[in-house]
């Protein structure tokens, strides 16, 4: 398999991107936090937003999706030449993306009682390329590094010109998939008798 912008779904990673990111983007994070109504401020941000995304009022859902996606787009803005991603202008994309991500994050990626690294032995023998970017502030490089060190049949490729996407990320990911597929291809079984 080829994995890009690697995360392992830990509670610490979710807290980093939804709470501690204020250390990197204080103004933008304060705007993100301001989108949480008082009645949900006792919840972690992902859980608070997850509630907003199921609010019966479509205006509440739309405003929450815009706030969530603005915050997401900010995380990739450290690279020179960054421009906002046009996909976040599509209200359908914003609604689906933000609801999906917040659902997983508000439920600890459904991994809370079985962290991925604690069960990495299940991937023993499975070849993988982990493609990660040095400037990925959303998912710092140590996450991919630790995963690669724990997964003997994986290979970590670090890009020096990208963040959580951008730069050469898409081209490198496509190339890795092509190389990986060629190296590990198996003939498909014949459908003929």
Q: Kindly state whether residues 71 and 102 are assigned to the same domain.
A: yes
Distance CA 120, CA 147 (A): 8
Tens-digit pLDDT profile for residues 138-172: 999 999 999 999 999 999 999 999 888 888 999 99
Predicted confidence at residue 27, as pLDDT, reads 96
Residue 193 DSSP SS3: coil
Q: How confident is the model at residue 193 (pLDDT cuts 50, 70, 90)?
A: very low
Instruction: Give the helix ranges, DSSP H, for the chain.
Output: 11-18, 26-34, 45-52, 58-74, 91-106, 141-150, 169-184
Q: Kindly state whether residues 131 and 175 are assigned to the same domain.
A: yes
Radius of gyration of the chain (CA): 19
The answer to whether residue 80 scores a pLDDT higher than 90 is no
Predicted confidence at residue 116, as pLDDT, reads 81
Query: What range does the domain containing 152 cover?
Result: 2-7+114-184
Give the mean pLDDT of the chain. 90
CA 163 to chain CA centroid, Å, is 12
Predicted confidence at residue 167, as pLDDT, reads 84
Looking at the domain assignment, is residue 191 inside a domain?
Answer: no
DSSP state of 165: B
Q: Kindly state whether residues 144 and 68 are assigned to the same domain.
A: no
Q: How confident is the model at residue 93 (pLDDT cuts 50, 70, 90)?
A: very high
Across the range 76-80, mean pLDDT stands at 77
Q: Kindly state whether residues 97 and 144 are assigned to the same domain.
A: no
More confidently predicted of 40 and 115: 40
């Amino acid at each position: 398999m080829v994995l890009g912008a690697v995360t392992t779904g830990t509670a610490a990673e979710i807290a980093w991107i939804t709470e501690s990111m204020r250390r990197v983007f204080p103004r933008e994070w304060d705007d993100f936090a301001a989108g949480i109504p008082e009645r949900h401020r006792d919840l972690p941000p992902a859980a608070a937003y997850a509630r907003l995304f199921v609010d019966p009022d479509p205006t509440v859902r739309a405003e929450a999706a815009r706030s969530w996606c603005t915050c997401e787009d900010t995380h990739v803005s450290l690279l020179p030449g960054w421009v906002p991603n046009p996909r976040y202008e599509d209200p359908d994309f914003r609604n689906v993306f933000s609801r999906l991500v917040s659902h997983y994050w508000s439920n600890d990626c459904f991994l809370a009682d079985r962290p991925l690294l604690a069960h990495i032995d299940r991937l023993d023998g499975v070849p993988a390329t982990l493609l990660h970017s040095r400037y990925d502030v959303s998912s710092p490089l140590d996450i991919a590094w630790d995963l690669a060190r724990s997964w003997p049949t994986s290979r970590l490729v670090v890009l020096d010109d990208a963040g959580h996407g951008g730069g050469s990320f898409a081209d490198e990911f496509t190339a890795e998939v092509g190389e990986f597929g060629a190296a590990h291809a198996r003939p498909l079984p014949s459908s003929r008798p």
